[in-house]
Amino acid sequence: MFDSHALLQAFTPAVLAGPGGFAGWVSRPEVAYPLAGGLVALLAILILKWPDFKSWRRARHKEVFRPIELEQVLHGDPPVVVDLRRPEDFNGSSGHIRGAFNLPFNHLPKALAEIAKDKRQLVVLVDYDDRVSHLAADVLASCGYTWVRVLRGGMRAWRAGNLPVSVSGHR
């Protein structure tokens, strides 16, 4: 009978140890330095892209706008932009997207019915980093809104893209 455990025990030291094994191969400078550099680069990419990865995971199966796409849409027939942040953040120095309405999440369904009377109208949800927006998108879908999108990355991504913000004329 074939004993995979015994084969693994016999094979592992031969591969990992010794001058011809994996450990010997990796310890050579011409292999170790590029391998270490590649691992450092991979780690740096993971650290820098981690917020985008989390945003991407939240957005699975949902419609999203990247900041530049929303900026382009705002130049045409503007959608209803709903900022879900607290009023002090919306009106504060960090500003808000021009034409946005400030509706904190707990007031959303009732107050949105007064702003977007047509449930087929495009509604774009914005918050600090898109976490609350994805929850709000589910709430609005259950209320019958058919065209809801989330600003991917929220105001954090909007400001990172150096897109215009309004600090006056709040709604």
Q: Please give the Cα distance from 162 to 64 (Å, whole number).
A: 19
Domain boundaries, the chain: 4-53, 64-160
Q: pTM for the full model? A: 0.66
Q: How confident is the model at residue 25 (pLDDT cuts 50, 70, 90)?
A: low
Mean per-residue pLDDT, 77-101:
91
| Measured distance CA(27)–CA(13) in Å, rounded | 16
Instruction: State residue 170's pLDDT score.
Output: 47
Phi-psi region of 92 (alpha: psi -120 to 50; beta: other; left: phi over 0): beta
- What the block records as the tokens of 117 is 């009377």
Give the contacts of 71 (CB within 8 A, at least 6 positions apart): 161, 163, 164
Q: What does the pLDDT average to over 26-43?
A: 76
Mean pLDDT of the region 7-33: 61
What are the pLDDT digits (tens) for 94-151? 899 999 999 988 888 778 878 888 888 899 999 998 889 988 998 888 888 889 999 9
In CATH terms, the fold of domain 64-160 is Oxidized Rhodanese; domain 1 (3.40.250)
Closest CA to 103 of 78, 125, 119: 125
Candidate from 12-26, 27-41, 89-103 with smallest mean pLDDT: 12-26
